[in-house]
Amino acid sequence: MQLTLIQLEQRTGDVAGNHDRATAAIERAAARGADLVALPELWNVGYFAFESYAREAEGVEGPTLSAMSALADRHDVGLLAGSIVEDLAASADAGVDVPVDEGLANTAVFFDRDGRRRAVYRKHHLFGYGSAETRLLTPGERLPTVDFEGFTIGFTTCYDLRFPELYRELAAAETTLVLVPSAWPYPRVEHWQLLPRARAVENLVYVATINGAAEFDDATLLGRSTIYDPWGTLLASAGDEPTLVTTEVTPERVDEIREEFPAWNDRRR
């Protein structure tokens, strides 16, 4: 399976432009043979544009994700539509199951090749260090997985990388690939490189981190979107510029490594 991460250029105050750039990048990835495409965290509004969250929030059946669904269907790709600021009340009004019926959430959505919405993941761990996320958003409660092209795919978002117990839950659910849309800023480059690699090694899964390329008033995203295999081997990565990061991944590789090094069999609860 060809996996492509979209390290998207994001501009503050340019939601329409961000949407156009995301659309063009998805189309380029599909034209190059991608089977599965992933966008970063809060790619349309920009993570650090906190004052825009309420204004730009929409339900999971709103215009942004409806457009992403149509793109997945049109180009016959699986699509993790990064995450958006979800208006939980709007989702509830549309009949979508939500943790509470008001407020906002940092919500990632996965679409199948035919545009069907297969999973909704709301970020569990909200970042409070130099961030308004804990004040503005409601944390998620569910940890969905999706079967796609022989993989069982799980999802976490950015700061979730610092909480290994979440990945243990995914591994216990037989997850073989974890997609991590993110908005990780400088200067914590070493943490960004260490944590997803550790999560891959600990759980013998592929981990793909999808970061943005953006400058905000108080922060700059460091890019470096990366795909690690279940040994923690770096398969593909980038610098901090807008780009596509692509590699081949196979579910058989997970099986081979788990058979060769069956660490999970030795766990003591």
The proportion of the chain whose per-residue pLDDT surpasses 90, expressed as a percent, equals 91
* Residue among 116, 112, 132 nearest 48 (CA): 132
Q: What is the pLDDT of residue 157?
A: 98
At 92, is the pLDDT very low, low, confident or very high (cuts 50, 70, 90)? very high
Residue 85 near residue 104, CB atoms below 8 Å: yes
As a whole number, mean pLDDT of residues 64-73 equals 98
- Domain containing 82 equals 2-266
The proportion of the chain whose per-residue pLDDT surpasses 70, expressed as a percent, equals 100
Residues 6+ apart with CB under 8 A from 201: 230, 231, 232
Residue 76 near residue 113, CB atoms below 8 Å: yes
CATH of the domain at 147: 3.60.110.10
**Averaged pLDDT of the chain:** 96
How far is it, in rounded angstroms, from Cα 184 to Cα 238?
14
Number of domains in the chain: 1
Q: What is the pLDDT of residue 187?
A: 94
Q: What is the pLDDT of residue 75?
A: 98
Residue 103, phi-psi category: left (phi > 0), alpha (psi -120 to 50), beta (remainder) = left
Q: What is the pLDDT of residue 95?
A: 93
As a whole number, mean pLDDT of residues 146-154 equals 98
Residue 67 near residue 127, CB atoms below 8 Å: no
The single residue listed with the structure tokens 């081979």 is: 256
Q: What is the pLDDT of residue 119?
A: 98
Active-site residue list: 41, 123, 158
